Chain A
């Protein structure tokens, strides 16, 4: 079927098997392999991308569900020469080891900080109305959909806390 994806500011017309997930459309058909496949079942968060600004699991989203939506992947947040503030803090705090869950962690954290700013509470929040403190418990709770077997968790939380000090979480490379 014919599908149009708006991805990192560019438009792609694709002819896809209807069973194709957004994740496989990115990885197999567009060669955008920054978004990782860790479980294909929405259990690990490695495939996290932003759809309409919200974090989603690309493996649980059929490509046809992303028709006309604005998709941002890790490649759209920054580039090796021009890192986003979060990418820079992940680098400085060693918020990764093997690097495979990292794009998902960073996409997730990008949207997570916006959720906090927008006043969304979490299980760890002291109140339902915000504002929320960027505590270890608050960040850890909100990031628990993103697994990291190398277990850079302690460093990831520190990286997010540091990056949250800056206002713009995205450095649109497109």
Chain B
């Protein structure tokens, strides 16, 4: 039986706090951890079906135009050019395949063919040496070179920001630039496709199997039921594996054509070309406040870019409408249609760069107004969502700010440029953290056997997020079992379709579906116990109600199972849902070289119920470190002539490494959000990145007085701003 819930109202009952097993929230080690630390966990490219051959993608070497002819590939089995091959990746949750027809080139580096050979070495050699004749078109590749579109749904305004700016006691009007950024998950995109008659099985590196299955079936022109996707282990995603991409589609096409299993793995450089980039942004921020620091005007005007044929627009100012109060407000999202690689979701699309820049602006306003940056934020927290007057589902920003200031020792912060240790200038910075929260439809099945073993099955993925572990803990808590008696099976489209991993909605969405499936099973046990489900206590394989206690094995005949089906409902609209926090950083800036060392960093976060304290903390560590990268090192530069990504590998695109990251501190505020389903848990995978970079940039200013508005703050830009 399926237990269904549409989240139309609040859940004030904290029943998960009163279950008997006491395992939910505990900092358990990852269930799949032993397989990962020994190399036994098998990722997408890590199967060897008999007779498998290797494919290597051929990429366009011109920015736009048409492929006229592709030459021979000596030593190869086949050169696959199929009109079903895709030009770029599907966007997250697309219900159809992305634009196909690889002979029409939209950007330099686009996949245009696949070379297949008996060995990887032969395929690589042939792909690199193949001759391609093009008809080349001239296209714009610079965002400032075209007149941008203004999608009507992406604009909003209330009052008159110009007037507010004219009449305010203190104002700020500055422009920031952030470069294209790359998810750069450690596992390059890869797939192994194998056909059995009309049935194809594709092992792939994907985040959202249920929508990926629809995209892939559409792209291949086959029925969904003839397609099975397997992603039991995914080597990181950060948005780059939300939608199907060229490697998996071409592997499936080639495998059918050759009648043999085909593996296609992108090279690292291909990942930079073919996975979605986060769009570069130009952000003009205008702030107006009275002498007490109360905001009267907020303007956030954004320019991003994407291909002409892609729907996605980086939602940079997504959190701006509801983070701070102001009577006069304006949000502008302009999109330049240019021919750089496709833009899409990268960890915390919108807030990752939008909140980061906005929080830098708040720091500048605080300085201009002569108000402490923490105090400025506290004075501008709205009681209800500005412009809509919707209530917040919960609101923890003030608490995160006050608690963070106390824990970090904010009161020890010195005025700008006043703390010097030898050649190092020391500074502290802070920023607010905010990220929208959402639920996505999700299903799961739980089976409980007579011997007290529970199996959780859903096509949810674990991309490093801890899904195996938290779903196991949930089932163990609800069914009263030790964690050793719960098995979690993920990443297989033969299981019930889940939300997938993306947008920080995975844990809460799939978690609620497991909760519901377990509730269904508890109902069946209660029936056998002749009691109300609410009166049932399950613990260590025993069922108790009143003064009756029985072994689960005596109550279950064979096995019982339940399915859970969660759908978002009215609370999505009735309440503004978001997660909140605060970021704190201490940096040292070298007075001669401009080098920045982050000395310590702390985050305080509120995300509703924490499902596993250890894996939740790791999510925050990861987000905060992304913030260090955004602030200091990460820039995907484009060639101004043809738009191609110049910094397209891990030697040129600098993600933070061990030496860039100090010991990080993470604190969670206790919270139960009633409007996000019975789990009362919200997303966490992205909150850690939202604003983290601003804390670092603001600390740089406090250390040495330099504001860097062209991110990242590399030493050359800091040195240029230092006074002699």
Contacts and interface: CB of A to CB of B under 8 A. Distances in A.
Interface stretch (B29-37, B60-68, B505-513, B700-708): B29-37
Contact of A80 (B34, B183, B184, B187): B34
Contacts of B650: 38-39, 41, 43-44, 147
Interface string A90-123: 1110101111111100100000000000000000
Interface residues of B, number: 64
A67 interface: no
B188 A37 contact: yes
B710 interface: no
Given A43-B268, A74-B38, A92 B29 contact: yes
Contacts of A11: none
Interface in B231-269: 233-238, 265, 267-268
Given A94-B614, A106-B37, A43 B649 contact: yes
Interface residues of A, number: 64
A39 B653 CA distance: 12
Contact of B39 (A35, A37, A81, A152): A35
Contact of B186 (A27, A92, A98, A143): A98
B622 A140 contact: no
Contacts of A24: 120-121
Given A100-B186, A153-B625, A155-B621, A39 B268 contact: yes
Given A20-B121, A43-B268, A74 B184 contact: no
A19 B121 contact: yes
A140 B661 CA distance: 8
Contact of B621 (A27, A91, A154): A154
Nearest to A18: B121
B235 A98 contact: yes
B500 to A, nearest CB: 15
Interface string B594-624: 0000000000000000000011011101101
B46 A143 contact: no
A137 B37 CA distance: 24
B28 to A, nearest CB: 10
B121 A140 contact: no
A38 B268 contact: yes
A32 B42 CA distance: 10
A64 interface: no
Interface in A16-57: 17, 19-20, 24, 27-28, 31-41, 43-44, 46
B658 A91 contact: no
B186 A149 contact: yes
A151 B626 contact: yes
B659 A103 contact: no
A98 B39 contact: no
Contacts of B534: none
B655 interface: yes
A148 to B, nearest CB: 7
A78 to B, nearest CB: 6
Contact of B236 (A35, A91, A94, A149): A149
B464 interface: yes
Nearest to B666: A154
25 contacts: A19-B125, A20-B121, A33-B42, A41-B651, A44-B268, A74-B39, A79-B38, A81-B34, A94-B30, A97-B236, A97-B465, A97-B466, A97-B615, A98-B463, A99-B35, A99-B233, A99-B464, A140-B659, A145-B657, A149-B183, A150-B186, A153-B656, A153-B658, A155-B618, A155-B621
Interface of A: 17, 19-20, 24, 27-28, 31-41, 43-44, 46, 73-75, 77-81, 83, 87, 90-92, 94, 96-103, 106, 124, 136-137, 139-141, 143-157
Given A37-B45, A97-B622, A98-B463, 17 more contacts: A17-B119, A24-B121, A28-B119, A33-B39, A43-B649, A80-B34, A96-B36, A97-B615, A99-B464, A136-B663, A141-B659, A146-B658, A147-B657, A149-B183, A149-B186, A149-B238, A152-B621
Nearest first, the 3 closest Cβ-Cβ pairs linking A and B are A34-B39, A100-B235, A98-B464
